[in-house]
Amino acid sequence: MAASIAPECNETKEQYDTCFLKWYSEKYLRGNTKSNDCDELFSKYKTCLHKALKEKGMDSMLDDARKSSSETDAEFLKKS
């Protein structure tokens, strides 16, 4: 699995990624879209990652980037 930008999050990321792949291929793609098997692992990984991004001073850069792409998201939704 791809490494995390924050080495201290690699372990929780790997657990989450493994869970996601299983859920995505065995449930989500087969129509069971409402299941949420990996929520707990994701929030654990997210907590670790967000702390690391904040320490790197990247949280505000991410917010800016996501704001500037929200226009495009609106286009996406219009189209579909």
Partner 1 sequence: MKFFENKFTYDYSFPAVSLAYFLRYPNPYSRHVLTTDVIDRYVDPSTQRLHTTRLHLKKSKIPAGILKLLPKGMGGSDNSGQSYILETTIVDPREGWMETESRNMEWTGILSVVEKQRYQRLHADNDVRALDGLSIDQRAEQTTVRTTVTFKSRLGQGKLLGRKKADHTEGEDEAPKKGFFSSLSTAGIQRTIELIGVSRTRDAVLKSKEGMNVVLERLRSGGIVGVLEGMRRDREALGLDKALARV
Binding site for partner 1 (CB under 8 A): 1-6, 9, 13, 16-17, 20-22, 24-25, 28-31, 33-34, 36, 42, 45-46, 49, 58, 61-62, 65-66, 69, 72-73, 76, 80
Of 1, 4, 2, residue with least CA distance to 56:
4
DSSP string, 4-27: PSSGGGHHHHHHHHHHHHHHHHHT
Q: How far is the CB of 57 from partner 1 (least distance, A)?
A: 12
Is the Cβ of residue 55 or residue 62 nearer to partner 1 in the bound state? 62
In one-letter notation, the amino acid at residue 61 is M
Least distance CB 44 / partner 1 (angstroms): 12
- Nearer of residues 55 and 61 to partner 1, judged by Cβ: 61
We find the least distance from the C-beta atom of residue 31 to partner 1, in angstroms, to be: 4
Other CB atoms within 10 Å distance of the CB of residue 13? 24
Which DSSP letter does residue 58 get? -
